[in-house]
Amino acid sequence: MSRKLFGTDGVRGRANSWPMTAELALKLGAAAGRYFRRDGSGAHRVVIGKDTRLSGYMLENALTAGFCSTGMNVLLLGPVPTPAVGFLTKSMRADVGVMISASHNPHQDNGIKFFGPDGFKLSDAAEAEIEAMIEGEIAPAKPENIGRAKRIEDGRGRYEEFVKTSFPTGLRLDGLKVVVDCANGAAYRTAPEVLWELGAEVIPIGTAPNGTNINDRCGSTHTDTAAEAVVAHGAHVGLALDGDADRIMILDETGRVADGDQIMALLAARWADEGRLQGGALVATVMSNLGLERFLAARGLRLERTAVGDRYVVERMREGGFNLGGEQSGHIVMTDYATTGDGLVAGLQFLAEMVRTGRPASELTRSFETVPQLLKNVRFSAGARPLDVASVRQVIEGAERRIEGRGRILIRKSGTEPLIRVMAECEDEALLVAVVDEIVGAVEAAV
């Protein structure tokens, strides 16, 4: 069964434009409610969280109406990180969890993603079934069976207590000065509070959301703000989260940025030394740097690659029994602790390593030398299919022949934005730039 509405991470789009409309959200809530109430038995519940986007209010209310119309009781968490929804769905014995967020995208965008009762994101097959139900008639509940909705005031606190359990017993962050950039997003209260309670001196930034400033020149995709704060305050380290706090970038004491690959390399080596790395492998996507693969191989470890998207990383981890994975973009998945990427938990693991070893962040974030990598994006209009254009295919094939044996090229359509992503790796930087620019030029001409 195919999916047209769902992408790599739920349903995404521009707020108040299809598919991110109140009408579609209502239908989506009703369809998901009916999907999870197919047995028709007893009371059923859904937990709904959101980030700080203005459009979150509209979508939250529409989803609530849809779920209640099919007899689901709705528990509203308010602004919480995406991993909190995964955790609380399972903890509160809910049938389904929903996060309203477009992650690292600007405030004009929004998204809806679902978690199953086990706290993991829904499979492609489940999403396809829900999508099919939207196109048909969705049977409403009888008047006496309409669901209720209520606010859960302590959802954030429950998640904070859980997050602290991921930090090693007996360690504290006393003496560490930490900048934390919350991207004016879902973790704007959670992250500073957790770090402070563990003993850190916290310099919080990106903690004044107003509905339209989420990810605006801050957070994991705009790290200059955090870097400047680290240097200005003489901090030991910086943690830059994205809008829904499921990804992180680490900044060392000089303000230099370490991406997800470096964080995963550090954790994989540590866990392997401790005998904790299940399966002797790290799961990452095709975007991860070749240097990471070489680093792991030198230690007798494997890199298992998947399609782009943390959900595909998690699926492979569950299939193979692996417990560590993630993305170069900063999703770090540790199934010993969480069911999805958790930026704050990953940040705490890094800080624990700083405390344990006494080494500065600048050393811990340089586990391997990266192979030069270049990524450029080309935006296209709705309905365009630039990768199907013959002239584009010819340029791509020619570029692949030129780089063969010296690097690799990866070209894909983004699953969350109307972008063609052109990425290449090659130790010959002149060749790297040349092949990427050739492909980008061809795609731009086609669109």
- Give the Cα separation of 75 and 47 in Å (integer): 5
**Strand 281-285, strand 302-306: pairing:** parallel
231-237 long-range contacts, CB within 8 A, separation 24+: 231/255, 233/177, 233/179, 233/203, 234/177, 235/177, 235/178, 235/179, 235/203, 236/176, 236/177, 236/178, 236/354, 236/360, 236/361, 237/176, 237/178, 237/179, 237/350, 237/351, 237/354, 237/361
**Strand 96-100, strand 44-50: pairing:** parallel
Cβ neighbours for 176, distance < 8 A, ≥ 6 positions apart = 199, 200, 201, 236, 237, 351, 354, 355
Residue 140, classified by CB atoms within 10 Å of its CB into exposed (0-12), middle (13-18) or buried (19+), is: middle
Cis peptide before 19 (omega within 30 of 0): yes
**Strand 257-258, strand 281-285: pairing:** unpaired
Cβ neighbours for 218, distance < 8 A, ≥ 6 positions apart = 181, 183, 184, 205, 206, 225, 226, 240
Question: One of 69, 101, 103, 367 is an active-site residue; which one?
Answer: 103
429-446 and 390-403 helices, crossing angle to 10°: 170
Contact 187, 163 (CB under 8 A): no
Q: Is 103 one of the catalytic residues?
A: yes
46-78: buried (b, 16+ CB within 10 Å) or exposed (e) per residue? bbbbbbbbebbebbbbbbbbbbbbbbbbbbbbb
Residues that are catalytic:
103
